[in-house]
Amino acid sequence: MNGNSLLSAFEQMLTIRAFEERAEQLFYQNDVRGSVHLGIGQEAVAVGARAALRAGDLVAPTYRGHAYALAWGMPLFAAFGELFGRAIGSNRGRGGSKHFADLDRGVLPANAIVAASLPIACGTAFAARLDRREEITLVPFGEGATNQAVFHESMNLAVLWDLPVIFLCENNLYSEMTPIARMSRNVDISERARAYPMPSAIADGMDVTAVAEAVSGAADRARRGEGPTFIEAKTYRFCGHMAGDSEPYRTKEEVAEWRNRDPIDKVRRELQEKGRTSGELEAISQTVSTAVMEAEVAAREATLPSVLDIGLGAANWMEVER
Amino acid sequence: MTSLVTSPTRTLTYREAIREALQLEMERDANVILMGEDIGDYGGVFKVTLGLLDAFGPERVIETPIAEAGFVGAAIGAAIRGKRPVVELMFMDFALVAADQLFNQAAKLRFISGDQLRIPLTIRTQQGVGSGTAAQHSQSLEALFMQIPGFAVALPSTPSDAKGLLATAIRSDDPSIVIEHKMLYASKGEVPEGEHLVPFGQAAIRRVGSDLTLVSYSRSMQTVLGAAEELAASGIEAEVIDLRTIMPIDWDMVLESVGKTGHLVVVHEGHRTGGVGAEIAARVAELAGADLRAPVGRVCGLDIPVPYAASLESAWLPQQPDVVRGAKRVLAR
């Protein structure tokens, strides 16, 4: 990544981190309902992928998907608004943390069923191929999703139909609360691609440039009509599977070790090596904090969705009255 | 009432009528695509799509692997991006393999997104007993699609409705399922030429009567109409309503008829417990209980899996004598 791209990635990663840290606190304060699934520590994967793609390319995120929505340009106000269940939320308060959607910016509704977004991503890519549009669908998912049946079905379909889709596996080592090694005899996730056969790459998911390079190669292939690519980004979430996860499945030492590889710190060091001063970077950090805080305050003050409008998005033959 | 037929008709089979709807909609809108198992050269196991691959090519008639969740999901994604996929699920029973994509995805994504997208997806499938296909290829699962908000549900009983309901489904911007019946494909009837749309939520009165209302749909309509004639021979005039769609249901027509007859029996192949008849009985009791001169009766498939042997399968299915008996029981109370 060149200096400007890296600076932009730095700002995006800081924004995502700040948003998610607030989301976690808001959950503990009971300001956010349901569950919140955070990807703190995994920011380089979403931001690196976005940097390698074009405006108009789609993403089909999972419930751990805040980073993708924000990287694709969803306004912080809409993101906080959705967490708070406000009328100005990205989904008008119909989805919450697990379902951020922003179709105008290419964000398909984040999916709360593990691996369910994979065949849907094949479908959006299929439509692009039929219409001869140079549009790619990126579908991120955890390594746990690779044990679902539709993972296999989607990989097969994508190769069979030469679909412009990029399968981006965020291998954070834990399928929700269980080490992947206890759920599969082959933890070399990228090897699975060979069966279809689909080209694959392994990227350091804690390095935004490495992710961007891998996704860029995949995007080139897809735009040349050569079909899908599987990318395994080796990463780690510093937080639990969900806010409130007691994390008995891993040691504090292991988490600390990965925190030493914080992808944001890495970008900060790289920017300093490229001549950016710590003052400049601190100023960006301050700007991000202010933007996140202001968006949160404004979203909190926004109005609730009108109950009269509870049927928004229901088919016209659905009955809305009791 | 049925839609006004303005164009000339001719006799077609149920299968031909469905194929004609597919062909006309594909000619009308280049975004209409077909997806499913063996639907190309083979024409689908019930030969409904025969010839369409030659007519429209492999980008419009897409053969899929045996991967119901995968290709239903792909159809959803394509629909979100402006295609109008018509997916053939070879047997209704296979909808359960694709259940997540149908019920958690297609049925919900528009709503979850806060109305940012549309899913103009049509599922075509067939169900029902009659040919010894046993418990995993015979189920009538329409009640599932009625229970989970998301799909319009059509069950044509005639070739004309098979064409008109499918065309309506394909033009709908929300998910629809058109459930054909495996024993009806060779049945014949008059079908309008050219554009023919049967709106959802408009039932049809197939026989006028004043003593009792019989409500049904799909292949059971044949049983019910036979029973109505048998009842007439003993002086009982049944009004017979073909629902055509069970989501939405034409409540006005059902209630109006019950207001006239005061007696209601619902007949369907699907299991009785938690079935369509249960919903109709409950709704009629809620909205027009005072009109009922007797409790609502149900004549349904047994609440056990469908057996294979002809003698057992026949006993499982509601037959004409069952309907006649059910009607007389309601009238006797």
Q: For residue B227, what is the DSSP state?
A: H
At residue B287, the pLDDT reads 96
Q: Is B275 part of a structural domain of the chain?
A: yes
Q: What pairs with residue A178 in β-bridges? A: A175
Q: Are B37 and B167 found together in one domain? A: yes
Q: Are B158 and B298 found together in one domain? A: no
Q: Which chain A residue's Cα is nearest to B82?
A: A127
* pLDDT band of B3, cuts 50, 70, 90: low
- Residue at which a domain ends, from B137, B165, B192: B192
* pLDDT band of B78, cuts 50, 70, 90: very high
Q: What are the angstrom distances between the C-alpha of A89 and each of A153, B16, B189, B213? A: 34, 48, 52, 49
pLDDT for B228-261, tens place per residue?
999 999 999 999 999 999 999 999 999 999 999 9
At residue A243, the pLDDT reads 83
**B116·A91 Cβ contact <8 A:** yes
**A94·B114 Cβ contact <8 A:** yes
Considering chain B, what is the average pLDDT of its residues? 97
CA of B129 vs chain A CAs: smallest distance (Å): 30
pLDDT for A159-200, tens place per residue?
999 999 999 999 999 988 888 888 999 989 999 999 999 999
> Where residue B134 sits, what CATH number does that domain have?
3.40.50.970
CA of B321 vs chain A CAs: smallest distance (Å): 36
* pLDDT band of A314, cuts 50, 70, 90: very high
Is residue B84 predicted with pLDDT exceeding 50?
A: yes
> Where residue B321 sits, what CATH number does that domain have?
3.40.50.920
Q: Are B188 and B216 found together in one domain? A: no
Q: Are B165 and B305 found together in one domain? A: no
Q: Do residues A155 and A198 make contact, with C-beta atoms less than 8 angstroms apart?
A: yes
**B112·A99 Cβ contact <8 A:** yes
ipTM of the complex: 0.97
Q: Are B36 and B179 found together in one domain? A: yes
At residue A2, the pLDDT reads 87
- Rounded to an integer, the average pLDDT of B294-304 is 98
Is residue A3 predicted with pLDDT exceeding 90?
A: no
At residue B1, the pLDDT reads 46
Q: How many domains does chain B have?
A: 2
Q: Are B309 and B231 found together in one domain? A: yes
Partners of residue A119 in chain B, C-beta under 8 Å: 69-74, 76-77, 101
Q: Do residues B168 and B199 make contact, with C-beta atoms less than 8 angstroms apart?
A: yes
Q: For residue B187, what is the DSSP state?
A: -
- Residue at which a domain ends, from B192, B217, B243: B192
At residue A301, the pLDDT reads 98
Closest Cβ opposite residue B201 in set A111, A312, A317: A317
* pLDDT band of B4, cuts 50, 70, 90: low
pLDDT for B144-156, tens place per residue?
999 999 999 999 9
- Rounded to an integer, the average pLDDT of A249-272 is 96
Whether B268 is catalytic is no
Q: How is chain A split into domains, by residue range? A: 3-309
Closest Cβ opposite residue B75 in set A123, A128, A318: A123
Report chain B's C-alpha Rg in angstroms: 19
* pLDDT band of B5, cuts 50, 70, 90: low
Q: Is B1 part of a structural domain of the chain?
A: no
Q: Are B220 and B168 found together in one domain? A: no
Is residue A221 predicted with pLDDT exceeding 70?
A: yes
Domain membership of residue B292 as a residue range: 204-332
CA of A34 vs chain B CAs: smallest distance (Å): 15
Q: Are B143 and B249 found together in one domain? A: no
**B117·A109 Cβ contact <8 A:** yes
Helices (H), chain A: 3-28, 43-52, 66-71, 76-83, 117-130, 149-160, 208-223, 252-259, 263-273, 278-301
Closest Cβ opposite residue B109 in set A109, A149, A318: A109
Query: Strands B238-242, B297-301: parallel, antiparallel or unpaired by DSSP?
Result: unpaired
- Rounded to an integer, the average pLDDT of B176-194 is 98
Is the bond preceding B305 in cis, omega lying within 30 degrees of 0? Answer: no
- Rounded to an integer, the average pLDDT of A115-120 is 98
Give residues with Cβ within 8 angstroms of B92, minimum separation 6.
B125, B126, B127, B139, B140, B141, B179
Q: Is B302 part of a structural domain of the chain?
A: yes
CA of B325 vs chain A CAs: smallest distance (Å): 35
B130: left (phi over 0), alpha (psi -120 to 50) or beta: left
Q: Are B159 and B218 found together in one domain? A: no
Rounded-to-10 torsion of CA B103, B107, B110, B111:
-90
Query: Strands A229-234, B9-13: parallel, antiparallel or unpaired by DSSP?
Result: unpaired
Q: What pairs with residue B297 in β-bridges? A: B265
Q: How far apart are CA B25 and CA B120, in angstroms?
A: 13
Q: Which of B16, B20, B37, B68 is catalytic?
A: B68
Q: Which of B25, B137, B142, B181 is catalytic?
A: B137
CATH code for residues A3-309: 3.40.50.970
Closest Cβ opposite residue B248 in set A89, A111, A317: A317
Output the pTM of the full model: 0.97
Partners of residue A124 in chain B, C-beta under 8 Å: 77-78, 80-81
